[in-house]
């Protein structure tokens, strides 16, 4: 197999990191909505934790995107 093929395989695997980030953010906000529905008085605390978790999950997605670009450009 040529090195060009390995590059495309690596870029495809990196795309799974972005998929994981999207699933993670969906789970975070879905569970936050359930938490608010169960305990409306804890909206502020749940919102803060949910946003912090979404930031970390999106950072992992952005990191995998940058890694994919680096693989594409051979940096």
Those residues with Cβ within 8 angstroms of residue 12's Cβ, 6 or more apart along the chain or in another chain: none
Residue 5 per-residue DSSP state: H
The model's pTM is 0.77
Q: Can you identify the CATH homologous superfamily of domain 3-73?
A: F1F0 ATP synthase subunit C (1.20.20.10)
Angle between helices 43-73 and 3-38 (to 10 degrees): 170
Domain limits, the chain: 3-73
What is the token pair recorded at 50?
């949910």
Which tens digit of pLDDT belongs to each residue from 3-56?
A: 888 888 888 888 888 898 999 999 999 999 999 999 999 999 999 999 999 999
Instruction: Give the torsion sign (CA, 52, 54, 59, 60).
Output: positive
């Amino acid at each position: 197999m040529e090195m060009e093929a390995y590059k495309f395989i690596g870029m495809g695997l990196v795309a799974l990191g972005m998929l994981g980030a999207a699933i993670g953010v969906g789970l975070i906000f879905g569970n936050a909505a359930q938490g608010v529905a169960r305990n409306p008085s804890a909206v502020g605390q749940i919102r803060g934790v949910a946003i912090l978790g979404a930031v970390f999950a999106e950072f992992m997605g952005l990191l995998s995107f940058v890694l994919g670009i680096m693989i594409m450009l051979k940096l």
